[in-house]
Structure formats: structure tokens, C-alpha cells
């Protein structure tokens, strides 16, 4: 894969205590364009001003107490990671850092913006398959005049599906920009403020597909724009 690299950026990748394949693939996708990555474990303290952008990766479910519900399903939770990710989102918002949320990360963005989740979407599916899909066999339809549409360069894209939860009530200053064939939310973007996007699928497993690589490239383009805008203030 030959890609044009960008001036080096430092990107934080937030994840669980144990680094898994998905996190290594996210790091690879970012390093493909010349970025340096810093892995952030639950409970870690990091000065977000040293970062140029933040990726919130997938993983365990966000505890329902974060959006005012009791657990309705048996699931693994990581309250320390929830706390760490919420703090990172707050710092990124204050600093204007671009944020990309993947699966759990997209859901966390919605919760941070005072939205909620459907804890078990599986029995609600009618037009889509009930089982997990690692290959891009799910059709995702995108809203035109959105960032995700500019990335995908078309009305739809094939994506994978590993999640069992979905966004229910949309958070503040967010809009839905992609859905599946059951109209479950597949991508969200902010309507004002920093560059903020969440996708429900896992593009890191689809790096052989140029349009899924473009998602990471456009995130880094946004991080570079913010970095360049800040440098005159630092040097003045």
C-alpha cells in the first residue's frame, strides 16, 4: 500500500488494559500516514495538549448508568475505562482536538453528548442479519452533504458489523449521517465545534479497502489543520 504521508502527528488511541489486534490495526492505519500513536489504558493520566487527535476504540459495553439506565443484558463493563474515555473526550472538546470514535467509541461520544443506547439491537433486526460480520457484507447508506459522504464518495459502502448495541436517543449537537438497512445508526457527526465523528463499524479490519483507509486519512487531515492553526499562536 503506497500512501502519501502527512507531517508527523501524535494521536492518542484509547482502549482496554490489554492491547488487542484491533488496536494494533488502528495504530497501523494511522502510522501508514506518518502519525505517531500513543496507547491510553484505563486509569492513565495523559496531558491531552500533547496530542493532535484522539481515537476512541471498540471494546466492552459502556455501563448503562452513564445514560440513566439499568443493565438489561449480561455483559462485561469497564467503569474505569468509561471514566478515562469521558475525561479524554472532555479534554479534546476543550482543546478542539479531532476525535474519531469506533463502535464503542461512537456510542461513548453519543453518551457524552447526553444521548442514550439501545442495549440489545439483535432481536429488533428485520432486514439485516443477526450474526456478527467481520467482512464488509453490511450495506451502510450515508447522508449526502456530510463528512462521511465526502470520505465514501458515494451513496453507500459495504461495512462489517460486530456490535450488539446501537444509538437510541441522539446526543446534543450531533446528527445521524449513516444508517443500515434497518435504519439503525451507523455514523454520527457533530453539528458545531470540533471535528467529531463516530462510526459503528470497524474500519481497522478493512484497511485493504481504500475508502475505509480514507476515514483515517481524513481524520488525520483534520488533526493537521488544527495543529497548523495552533502553531502561529505558539510561535508568536
Q: Which one of the listed residues 189, 204, 212, 218 is annotated catalytic?
A: 204
Told to judge if 3 belongs to the known catalytic residues of this protein, a careful annotator would answer: no
What residue ranges in the chain does DSSP mark as E strands? Answer: 10-14, 36-40, 53-56, 99-102, 117-118, 133-142, 156-161, 166-167, 174-179, 185-190, 196-199
Told to judge if 218 belongs to the known catalytic residues of this protein, a careful annotator would answer: no
Between CA 11 and CA 35 the distance in angstroms is: 7
DSSP secondary structure, 138-203, as one string:
EEEEE-SSSHHHHHHTSSEEEEEE--S-EE-SPPTTEEEEEE-TT--EEEEEESSSS-EEEESS-G
The grid coordinates of residue 201 equal: 463499524
Q: Computed over its alpha carbons, how large is the radius of gyration of the chain?
A: 17
Q: Which one of the listed residues 23, 61, 163, 202 is annotated catalytic?
A: 202
Told to judge if 204 belongs to the known catalytic residues of this protein, a careful annotator would answer: yes
Between CA 117 and CA 121 the distance in angstroms is: 9
The SS3 assignment for 40 reads strand
Burial of 118 (0-12, 13-18, 19+ CB in 10 A): middle
Q: Which one of the listed residues 23, 61, 103, 218 is annotated catalytic?
A: 103
Catalytic site residues? 103, 202, 204
Amino acid at each position: 500500500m503506497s500512501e502519501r504521508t502527512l507531517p508527523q502527528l501524535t494521536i492518542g488511541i484509547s482502549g482496554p488494559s490489554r492491547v488487542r489486534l484491533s488496536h494494533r490495526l488502528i495504530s497501523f492505519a494511522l502510522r501508514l500516514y506518518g502519525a505517531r500513536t500513543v496507547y491510553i489504558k484505563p486509569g492513565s493520566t495523559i496531558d491531552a495538549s500533547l496530542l493532535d487527535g484522539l481515537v476512541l476504540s471498540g471494546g466492552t459495553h459502556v455501563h448503562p448508568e452513564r445514560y440513566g439506565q439499568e443493565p438489561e443484558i449480561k455483559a462485561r463493563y469497564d467503569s474505569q475505562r468509561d471514566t478515562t474515555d469521558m475525561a479524554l473526550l472532555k479534554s479534546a472538546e476543550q482543546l478542539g482536538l479531532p476525535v474519531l470514535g469506533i463502535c464503542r467509541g461512537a456510542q461513548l461520544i453519543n453518551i457524552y453528548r447526553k444521548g442514550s443506547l439501545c442495549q440489545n439491537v439483535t432481536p429488533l433486526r428485520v432486514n439485516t442479519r443477526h450474526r456478527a460480520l467481520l467482512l464488509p457484507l453490511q450495506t451502510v447508506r450515508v447522508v449526502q452533504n456530510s463528512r462521511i459522504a465526502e470520505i465514501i464518495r458515494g451513496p453507500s459502502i459495504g461495512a462489517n458489523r460486530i456490535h450488539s448495541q446501537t444509538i437510541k436517543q441522539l446526543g446534543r449537537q450531533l446528527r445521524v449521517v449513516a444508517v443500515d438497512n434497518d435504519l439503525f445508526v451507523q455514523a454520527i457527526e457533530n453539528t458545531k465545534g470540533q471535528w467529531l465523528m463516530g462510526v459503528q463499524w470497524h474500519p481497522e479490519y478493512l484497511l485493504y479497502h481504500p475508502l475505509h483507509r480514507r476515514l483515517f486519512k481524513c481524520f488525520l487531515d483534520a488533526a493537521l489543520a488544527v495543529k497548523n492553526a495552533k502553531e502561529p499562536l505558539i510561535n508568536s
